[in-house]
């Protein structure tokens, strides 16, 4: 493996995920988290070389919605900048790539979007191709339900299995003051919740929620000045699959598996078993089970290591959910995860997705030590 | 300091007001297939794909890159979607270049497109911002006041816009892909109706369906290709806040900062002397003199004199937009990539009937938002 | 039911009407600004670092990155810094054409707002023209941007370019 630049997460700030913030617009929510992240680094805005945002016009309910974020990001004088129509974690990946070119040494990554202003189920129907799939009215819960049915048919997984996964995430979320769902729920209680779209119960799905997030990346030489315990990136890669549901085996995630293989190879690890913490952006319990397979997560040790944050089930502020996974890994490795701290966490695996049924997958490996010396 | 990267393939569609002969995927494929063929490559040779387009409301499909993954050969590859308003085609090309310059990907496909006939472009470009009086009518409505301010500040005479427009349309007659290929005289433009005073219909870009794709490659991969590549000497994208008191909206500071960065990195000290042609984002004719100033080709207030002296025509000192530019073709998401791709064609010597002779260096430029986003590159025939 | 015949002509178009409801949050700053319009008061917020005033009020200064938590009142009159005359229609808008959409720098504000200029011929509008807000009558204002009907020329002498060319 070629030697790359060591890059670390040096700060992460978020607003607690809430169902609806009636006091602030999407970009007004961003301002305090950017200030906090920079304060944690002990620097002014001008010290960071590059900025990148993740947000989606349709979630904002207006074209060019992201342009307004420039005004709260300290974009004066002009900054090197990019915006992706994706979860902010993909922006972090791009920033990491840009740091590898040597052109920049640090990056400010932000995610924003007020999910509560629109109807995400109707909006995300529009992600589907307009000729066949959107036209029949599928929304993200329906497509997830198709995936769940197929998975349960192939593997024999039961409603009780799904409830157990959800309950484990809820127990973890109860220790996370930033999560939206902060009360534990038993598997039995979750099995009593009504069907959202069978075989997915409302208790297995994240509530609609919103937040704003900011994460700072810095290369070796800069990172040490900004953070006393940086979380070093050991490996990262991204792979996409096709969208067309009928063209895929929805019960598996070759994309996540391939992204993980590449990330693990870069990191010099064999599997997720080498990680003390695994944060998966699973929007349903079935997605989590599929990701266990794809990433090589041993389900027997899941309770101790998987989604100590409560995962996407406990907080799904679209555009930030992925960045939060990365931020949580940082907090774990930096020993700042409070009541949800996994003791002596030295290495973390993070997964982020985008699209329906795990279409796009991004996998990171982070560690307390530098990867390349 | 960055590793070298080059454009090894350029592809674009025949741009038109409505490409009813292809679906969205078909439109995008047309450009992608041409770029790969141009580069002598197959999809399996491409390591990553970067897609860019402007607001998805233009087509009524959210994040269409997701359903287009197969059409662009992104299956089981890294795949990213960029959106920086009007500059997006250019920032997408720059993002693809970054992927190559990281050393992690040898060949990256960049694709940018818009099929805006499928929605209602005026509506999508006139967002009714909540809690604000809905007054801004399209992009022209937003920019017309700053064109007026440019004219007032510089004493630019009224024939300059029409001269720019007529010249762009003349250039487009030599571009087989351009949307508007019928020439227009200065008189035609001056007698066309005013849409948003002072901008006339003849000075306004069309609304087009179209796509552009580029293959960006590492130095080693570029040297293996069948053709002479266009070496990317520098590429920069900058953005600035909007509501800054005293912000210059006529010659935005972000544009000047971006231009200086792109020249410095390419070792260009005197753009007027060292750059032989430029493809710049001129959606309304008055932006041509404005950008000539903002890009440092002349002193402030003198941009219109370049036009007045005819120095920006084909055959003159600095041909501007030999392809016809945005005034002849404007699929919003693609336009920025078309500027950067056309600049590449010029240094590759492959611009056909609109080739400028002996191009050593060319500038590709795009802007977006309230003239806040700027993305540019310098391409050269030598590494 | 018999097997369907393939269509004689290939399907060429798929019509889809997209209807999406959104309920936007104004945010406390914008809400305060809107409510004050009911009292014919226009508010801005002042940057803690530079003292500059932004209308409508902003949470953070786009220039200094400092918070702008102090609300201040600005005048309901000011200068047309630049403008255009709109002659084409937009779906969903009912303003009669042609209309003048202007940037107006209110006295006391460091940036301009967008405003409709009426009560004069479009061709009489010019950069530097002094204008004042025309409010809905007492009792009809509700605390919305519609409380200001438009701006009209005051007849005062034009402002000198130096006073507004950097407040475009």
Q: What is the pLDDT of residues B5-52, one digit of tens each?
A: 999 999 999 999 999 999 999 999 999 999 999 999 999 999 999 999
CB atoms within 10 A of CB C156: 12
pLDDT classification of C167: cutoffs 50, 70, 90: confident
What tokens were used for A68?
């307004």
How would you label A76-109 residue by residue, b for 16+ Cβ within 10 Å and e otherwise? bebbbbbbbbbbbbbbbbbbbbbbbbebbbbbbb
Burial of B148 (C-beta count, 10 Å sphere; 0-12/13-18/19+): buried
What tokens were used for A285?
């319990």
Q: What is the pLDDT of residue C10?
A: 83
Interchain CB distance below 8 Å, C127 and B152: yes
What tokens were used for C116?
């409709």
CATH 3.40.47.10 in chain B, residue ranges: 5-121+208-229, 137-206+231-380
Q: What is the pLDDT of residues A141-161, one digit of tens each?
A: 999 999 999 999 999 999 999
How would you label C60-92 residue by residue, b for 16+ Cβ within 10 Å and e otherwise? bbbbbbebbeeebebebbbbbbbbbbbbbebee
Contacts of C102 in chain B (CB under 8 A): 145
Q: What is the pLDDT of residue C14?
A: 86
Q: Is the dihedral of CA B253, B257, B262, B266 positive or negative?
A: positive
d(CA A182, CA B61): 35
C1 pLDDT higher than 60 = no
In this prediction, residues B171-182 reach a mean pLDDT of 98
Q: Are A224 and A326 in contact (CB under 8 A)?
A: no
A176 pLDDT higher than 70 = yes
What tokens were used for A221?
């030489």
C3 pLDDT higher than 80 = no
Q: Are C109 and C133 in contact (CB under 8 A)?
A: no
Candidates A60, A101, A129, A357: best to mutate against B (most CBs of B within 10 A) is: A101
Q: Are C135 and C149 in contact (CB under 8 A)?
A: yes
Contacts of B161 in chain C (CB under 8 A): none
Interchain CB distance below 8 Å, A28 and C20: no
- How many percent of chain B have pLDDT more than 90? 89
Interchain CB distance below 8 Å, C165 and B153: yes
Q: Is B149 on the interface with C (CB under 8 A)?
A: yes
Give the residue from chain B lying closest to C34, CA to CA. Answer: B131
- How many percent of chain A have pLDDT more than 70? 100
d(CA A11, CA A223): 10
In this prediction, residues A227-245 reach a mean pLDDT of 98
Q: What is the pLDDT of residue B88?
A: 97
C69 Cβ contact list (under 8 Å, min separation 6): C45, C48
CB atoms within 10 A of CB A191: 17
A·B CB contacts under 8 A: 180
d(CA B363, CA B334): 17
In this prediction, residues C50-79 reach a mean pLDDT of 97
Q: Is C65 on the interface with B (CB under 8 A)?
A: no
Phi-psi region of B157 (alpha: psi -120 to 50; beta: other; left: phi over 0): beta
Q: Are A361 and A326 in contact (CB under 8 A)?
A: no
When comparing pLDDT for A15 and C82, which is higher? A15
Q: Is B141 on the interface with C (CB under 8 A)?
A: yes
Q: Are A55 and A69 in contact (CB under 8 A)?
A: yes
| DSSP structure class, residue B77 | S
C29 pLDDT higher than 90 = yes
Q: Is C30 on the interface with A (CB under 8 A)?
A: yes
A86 pLDDT higher than 60 = yes
> What does the mean pLDDT of chain A come to?
97
Q: What is the pLDDT of residue A238?
A: 98
pLDDT classification of B142: cutoffs 50, 70, 90: confident
Interchain CB distance below 8 Å, B133 and C114: yes
- Tokens 């997984």 found at: A157
In this prediction, residues A83-90 reach a mean pLDDT of 98
Chain B nearest-CA distance from A192, in A, is 34
Q: Is the dihedral of CA B251, B254, B257, B262 positive or negative?
A: negative
d(CA B139, CA B55): 13
In this prediction, residues A221-246 reach a mean pLDDT of 98
C71 pLDDT higher than 90 = yes
Contacts of A58 in chain B (CB under 8 A): 56-57, 62-63
Q: What is the pLDDT of residues A316-356, one digit of tens each?
A: 999 999 999 999 999 999 999 999 999 999 999 999 999 99
d(CA B190, CA B192): 6
- Give, in words, the CATH class of B5-121+208-229: alpha beta
What tokens were used for C101?
């959409």
Q: What is the pLDDT of residue B1?
A: 52
| DSSP structure class, residue B320 | B
Q: What is the pLDDT of residues A355-372, one digit of tens each?
A: 999 999 999 999 999 999
In this prediction, residues B263-285 reach a mean pLDDT of 98
pLDDT classification of C11: cutoffs 50, 70, 90: confident
Name chain C's partners: 3 or more CB pairs within 8 A.
Answer: A, B
d(CA C153, CA C129): 7
Q: Is A24 on the interface with C (CB under 8 A)?
A: yes
Contacts of B78 in chain A (CB under 8 A): 237-240
C2 pLDDT higher than 60 = no
Q: What is the pLDDT of residue A1?
A: 58
Nearest CA-CA partner of B143 in B290, B25, B260, B278? B290
Which of B83, B238, B241 lies closest to A71 in CB terms?
B241
Give the residue from chain C lying closest to B21, CA to CA. Answer: C12
Interchain CB distance below 8 Å, A24 and C28: yes
Chain A nearest-CA distance from B369, in A, is 7
* Cα A208–chain centre separation: 15
Contacts of C21 in chain A (CB under 8 A): 118-119
Which of A64, A78, A130 lies closest to B254 in CB terms?
A78
B378 pLDDT higher than 60 = yes
Helix (H) / strand (E) element for B335: namely helix B332-348
Nearest CA-CA partner of B366 in B171, B86, B53? B86
C165 pLDDT higher than 90 = no
B348 pLDDT higher than 90 = yes
d(CA A178, CA A16): 4
Which of A64, A76, A240 lies closest to B240 in CB terms?
A76
Interchain CB distance below 8 Å, A131 and C14: yes
Q: What is the pLDDT of residue A39?
A: 98
In this prediction, residues A268-290 reach a mean pLDDT of 96
Q: Which CATH superfamily is domain A7-119+208-226 in?
A: Thiolase/Chalcone synthase (3.40.47.10)
In this prediction, residues A232-259 reach a mean pLDDT of 97
Nearest CA-CA partner of C69 in C61, C79, C78, C80? C61
Listed by number, the residues of chain C in 2-21 with a beta carbon closer than 8 Å to a beta carbon of chain A are 14, 16, 18, 20-21
In this prediction, residues A198-216 reach a mean pLDDT of 98
Candidates B129, B134, B240, B290: best to mutate against C (most CBs of C within 10 A) is: B134
Q: Per DSSP, what are the bridge partners of residue C72?
A: C44
CATH code of the domain made up of B137-206+231-380: 3.40.47.10
Candidates B117, B131, B147: best to mutate against C (most CBs of C within 10 A) is: B131
Q: What is the pLDDT of residues A296-316, one digit of tens each?
A: 999 888 888 999 999 999 999
d(CA B348, CA B171): 19
In this prediction, residues C153-159 reach a mean pLDDT of 95
Length of chain C: 168
Q: Are C63 and C36 in contact (CB under 8 A)?
A: no
B2 pLDDT higher than 80 = no
Interchain CB distance below 8 Å, B58 and A354: no
Interchain CB distance below 8 Å, A118 and C20: yes
């Amino acid at each position: 493996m070629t030697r790359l630049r060591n890059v670390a997460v040096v700060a992460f700030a978020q607003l607690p995920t809430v169902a609806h913030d009636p006091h602030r617009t999407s970009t007004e929510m961003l301002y305090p988290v950017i200030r906090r992240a920079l304060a944690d680094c002990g620097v002014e805005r001008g010290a960071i070389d590059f900025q990148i945002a993740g947000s989606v016009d349709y979630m904002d309910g207006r074209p060019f919605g992201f342009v307004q974020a420039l005004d709260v990001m300290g974009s004066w004088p002009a900054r090197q900048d990019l915006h992706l129509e994706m979860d902010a974690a993909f922006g972090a990946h791009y920033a990491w790539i840009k740091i590898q070119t040597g052109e920049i040494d640090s990056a400010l990554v932000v995610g924003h979007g007020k999910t509560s202003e629109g109807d995400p189920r109707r909006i995300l129907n529009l992600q589907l191709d307009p000729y066949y799939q959107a036209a029949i009215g599928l929304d993200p819960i329906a497509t997830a339900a198709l995936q769940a049915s197929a998975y349960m048919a192939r593997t024999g997984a039961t409603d009780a299995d799904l409830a157990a996964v959800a309950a484990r995430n809820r127990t973890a979320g109860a220790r996370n003051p930033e999560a939206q769902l902060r009360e534990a729920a038993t598997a039995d209680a979750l099995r009593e919740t009504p069907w959202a779209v069978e075989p997915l119960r409302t208790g297995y799905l994240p509530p609609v929620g919103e937040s704003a997030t900011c994460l700072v990346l810095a290369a070796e030489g800069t990172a040490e000045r900004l953070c006393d315990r940086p979380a070093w990136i050991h490996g990262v890669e991204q792979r996409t699959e096709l969208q067309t549901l009928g063209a895929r085996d929805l019960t598996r995630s070759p994309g996540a598996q391939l992204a993980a293989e590449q990330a693990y190879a870069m990191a010099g690890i064999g599997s997720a078993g080498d990680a003390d913490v695994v944060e998966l952006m699973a929007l349903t319990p079935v997605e989590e089970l599929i990701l266990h397979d794809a990433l090589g997560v041993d389900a027997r040790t899941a309770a101790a290591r998987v989604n100590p944050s409560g995962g996407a089930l406990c907080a799904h502020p679209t555009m930030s959910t992925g960045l939060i996974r990365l931020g949580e890994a940082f907090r774990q490795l930096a020993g700042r995860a409070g009541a949800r701290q996994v003791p002596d966490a030295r290495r973390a695996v993070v997964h982020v997705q985008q699209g329906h049924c795990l279409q796009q997958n991004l996998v990171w490996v982070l560690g307390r030590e530098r990867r390349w010396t | 300091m960055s590793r070298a990267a080059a454009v090894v393939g350029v592809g674009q569609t025949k741009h038109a007001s409505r490409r009813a002969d292809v679906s969205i995927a078909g439109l995008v494929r047309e450009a992608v297939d041409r770029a790969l063929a141009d580069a002598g490559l197959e999809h399996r040779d491409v390591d990553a794909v970067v897609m860019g387009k402007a607001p998805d409301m233009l087509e009524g499909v959210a994040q269409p890159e997701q359903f287009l993954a197969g059409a662009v050969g992104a299956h089981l590859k890294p795949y990213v979607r960029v959106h920086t308003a009007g500059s997006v085609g250019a920032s997408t090309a720059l993002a693809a270049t970054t992927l190559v310059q990281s050393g992690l990907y040898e060949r990256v496909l960049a694709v940018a497109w818009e099929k805006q006939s499928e929605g209602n472009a005026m509506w999508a470009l006139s967002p009714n911002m909540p809690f604000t009086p809905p007054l801004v009518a399209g992009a022209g409505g937003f920019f017309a006041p700053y064109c007026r301010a440019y004219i007032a500040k510089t004493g630019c005479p009224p024939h300059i816009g029409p001269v720019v427009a007529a010249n762009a349309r003349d250039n487009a007659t030599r571009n087989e892909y351009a949307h508007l290929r019928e020439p227009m005289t200065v008189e035609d433009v001056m007698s066309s109706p005013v849409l948003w005073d002072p901008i006339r219909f003849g000075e306004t870009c069309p609304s087009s369906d179209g796509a552009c794709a580029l293959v960006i490659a590492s130095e080693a991969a570029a040297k293996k290709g069948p053709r002479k590549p266009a070496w990317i000497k520098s590429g920069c994208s900058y953005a600035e806040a909007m509501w800054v008191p005293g912000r210059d909206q006529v010659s935005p500071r972000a544009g000047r900062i971006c231009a200086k960065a792109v020249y410095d990195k390419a070792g260009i000290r005197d753009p007027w002397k060292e750059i032989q042609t430029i493809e710049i984002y001129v959606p309304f004719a008055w932006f041509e003199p404005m950008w000539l100033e903002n890009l440092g080709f002349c002193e402030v207030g003198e941009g219109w004199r370049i036009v007045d002296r005819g120095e920006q025509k084909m055959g003159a000192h600095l041909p501007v937009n030999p392809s016809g530019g945005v005034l002849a073709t404007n699929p919003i998401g693609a336009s920025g990539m078309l500027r950067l791709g056309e600049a590449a064609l010029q240094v590759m010597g492959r611009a056909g009937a609109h080739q400028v002779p002996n191009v050593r260096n060319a500038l590709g430029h795009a802007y977006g938002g309230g003239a806040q986003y700027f993305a540019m590159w310098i391409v050269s025939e030598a590494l | 039911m018999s097997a369907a015949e393939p269509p004689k002509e290939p399907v060429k178009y798929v019509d889809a009407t997209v209807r999406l409801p959104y309920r936007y949050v104004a945010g406390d700053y914008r809400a305060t600004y809107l409510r004050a319009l009911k009292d014919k008061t226009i508010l801005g917020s002042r940057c803690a670092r530079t003292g500059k005033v932004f209308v409508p009020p902003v949470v953070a200064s786009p220039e200094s990155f400092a918070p702008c938590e102090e609300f201040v009142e600005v005048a309901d009159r000011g200068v047309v810094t630049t403008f255009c005359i709109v002659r084409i229609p937009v779906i969903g808008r009912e303003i009669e054409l042609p209309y003048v959409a202007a940037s107006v720098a209110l006295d006391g504000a460091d940036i301009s707002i967008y405003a409709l200029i009426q009560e004069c011929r479009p061709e009489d509008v010019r950069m530097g023209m002094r204008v004042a807000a025309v409010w809905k009558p007492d009792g009809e204002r509700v605390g919305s941007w519609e409380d200001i009907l438009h701006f009209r020329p005051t007849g005062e002498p034009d402002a000198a370019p130096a006073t507004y060319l950097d407040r475009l």
